[in-house]
Amino acid sequence: MASAAGGVETLRTGLVEPAIERGWQVAVTLTPTAANWLRTSGEIDQLAKSTGLPVRHESRLPGDDRPHPPVDCYVVAPASANTVAKIATGIADNQALTQVGEALGTLGLPVVIFPRVNAAHARHPAWKRHLSALREAQVHLVCGPDVWPLYEPREGPAERQIPWAAVLDAADQAMT
């Protein structure tokens, strides 16, 4: 699952294709805004081609077949501050958040989240509570000074690249 955070445009080359190279079957679900961002560049079609599965961003209708196979691990990357807050507080107002919210309540189903937020979001009074709630739910958070320091200011629009390898490694570890 990916949300509309900087770096989502590298989802296919940074996360999806390397995960497939590791032998995973990958299914992609996007928040509505991330779907809008990636649709304009044609990236949704490229993701579907890479995975062999449709990219979800809307709920299916009753009676429709499930377009994705059963999930062994959810990876939420990149996760915007908005997405992290919604997951932490149980808000499931789109297909992607509904799936992850259900996963948090499913015993033995690992969830890995890479919160890609800036220092201003990380200084918000609720941010530490959101991370605490996710940790309480046994979410594997990919953050920290060696990966993506949440509390350090960033410089310029280029900022640091998403640590996709660390996200993949966290998912591998979560499934063992």
Q: Where are the alpha helices (DSSP H) in 58-142?
A: 81-89, 95-104, 119-122, 127-136
Task: Count Cβ neighbours within 10 Å for each residue of 134-168 and write b for 16 or more, e otherwise.
Answer: beebebbbbbeeebbebeeeeeeeeeeebbbebbb
Check residue 122 and give its pLDDT: 87
Give yes or no for a contact between 48 and 17, defined as CB atoms under 8 angstroms apart. Answer: no
At residue 158, does pLDDT exceed 70? no
Q: Which domains are assigned to the chain? A: 8-57+71-153+160-174 (3.40.50.1950)
The C-alpha angle 92, 94, 98, rounded to 5 degrees, equals 45
Which of 136, 138, 130, 28 has its CA nearest to residue 78?
Answer: 28
At residue 147, does pLDDT exceed 80? no
pLDDT band at 144 (very low <50, low <70, confident <90, very high): confident
> Is this structure's pTM higher than 0.85?
yes
Average pLDDT of every residue of the chain: 91
pLDDT band at 1 (very low <50, low <70, confident <90, very high): very high
Mean pLDDT, range 135-161, rounded to an integer:
70
Enter the DSSP assignment of 15.
I
Question: How many Cα atoms sit within 13 Å of 80 on the Cβ side?
Answer: 17
Check residue 128 and give its pLDDT: 94
Burial (CB < 10 A; 0-12, 13-18, 19+), residue 172, is middle
> Tens digit of pLDDT for each residue in 81-99?
999 999 999 999 999 999 9
